[in-house]
Amino acid sequence: MSCEQQDQQEIVPLESLQKFAVELIEKAGAKPEHARALADLIIAADHRGHYSHGMNRLDYYLQDLINGYNAVDKEPEVLKQTPATALVDGNNCLGPVVGKFCIDLAIEKAKSIGIGWVCAKGSNHFGIAGWYSMRAMEQGLIGMAFCNTSPFMIPTRGKTQTLGTNPISVAAKGNNGEEFVLDMATTAVAQGKIEINKRLGKDTMLGLGVDRNGKVKCLHLECQTCGYKGFGLGFMVEIFCGLLSGSRFGQNIRHWARHDAEADLGQCFVAINPEMFALGFESRLSELIHHCKDQTPADGEKEVLVAGDPERSHIELCSKLGGIPYFKKQMDFAVRLYSLTSYY
């Protein structure tokens, strides 16, 4: 097969993806409302161009459901709370089910008293962190979401995997539809991006990993690093998620590819009501965005971007195409999942 044939893309309408994903997740054992939450998350990731956390991760979720390591007959529950805070037990439900419950609780508190800070234990992989922060943003709030993950990051000057990719997301809305949506791993690259490259048969980037002695070499699945700033941010996420919630943390978290134990991930969701602070937040945010975007780009660059711009461009592309574009190998993988009826 030629490179051109390998790179052929298929356009899949969002409605078809939703139906496909929900049916597959329900077959794996999830109840309908949980299946819809997970499907919404997966499709939102691909719609925004985060293919590493969309259909690419469907097999991961299905394996946990099939092997009985996700609860299918429970719901998240609040263990303790104050007007501004809450501790939630995810009861091993699907990550998007836990995350949606928690961010909605944080939103409710923020609307009431100005801030909601909710930590969860007993959760699972929750997909793109931006899905939760944007849920708060869409209601006029500043949203934040954090999650600890399987240990991949090696501490600066260390050589043992200790922290996860521990993502961070912050989302806020300005005027006239302008948005700031930060959604990033605290490692040099998200684990899912390595998975996508492997699935598409692409080379990974050099210089993002270390060997067993802690020396920078090339990128491997087991040796990601991102410098002391990323290490510091990853540690901060672990404090918010693993330590505050009482979930597993650091090296205690199971490996991402294992499906023989509960994940017990820790997560943190924050909503802030800007109306409780200085008036005109949206206008000032738009002004800051334009300070960045309206400047003359560096030589060789077309434009200056702020967090969320690439995702908006991808959503616009999907609208023009009439669906989400996938490489053939990506869709072949999804179809194989569906055809393996023995799983279900």
Reported as a single tens digit per residue, the pLDDT across 36-82 is 999 999 999 999 999 988 988 888 898 889 888 888 899 999 999 99
Residue 9 has pLDDT above 90, yes or no: no
The pLDDT tens digits for 196-218 are 555 555 555 544 554 555 555 44
Q: Does residue 222 contact residue 210 with C-beta atoms inside 8 Å?
A: no
Mean pLDDT computed over 264-292: 97
Per-residue pLDDT band for 225 (boundaries 50, 70, 90) equals: very low
Q: Where are the alpha helices (DSSP H) in 180-278?
A: 191-200, 227-238, 244-245
Q: pTM of the entire structure?
A: 0.85
Answer with the residue of higher pLDDT: 226 or 246: 246
> Residue 33, Cβ neighbours under 10 Å: how many?
9
CA dihedral 40, 43, 44, 46 (to 10 degrees): 160
Give 241's DSSP letter. I
- What is the CATH class of 3-296+300-343? alpha beta
Burial class (CB in 10 A: 0-12, 13-18, 19+), 4: exposed
Domain boundaries, given as residue ranges, for the chain:
3-296+300-343
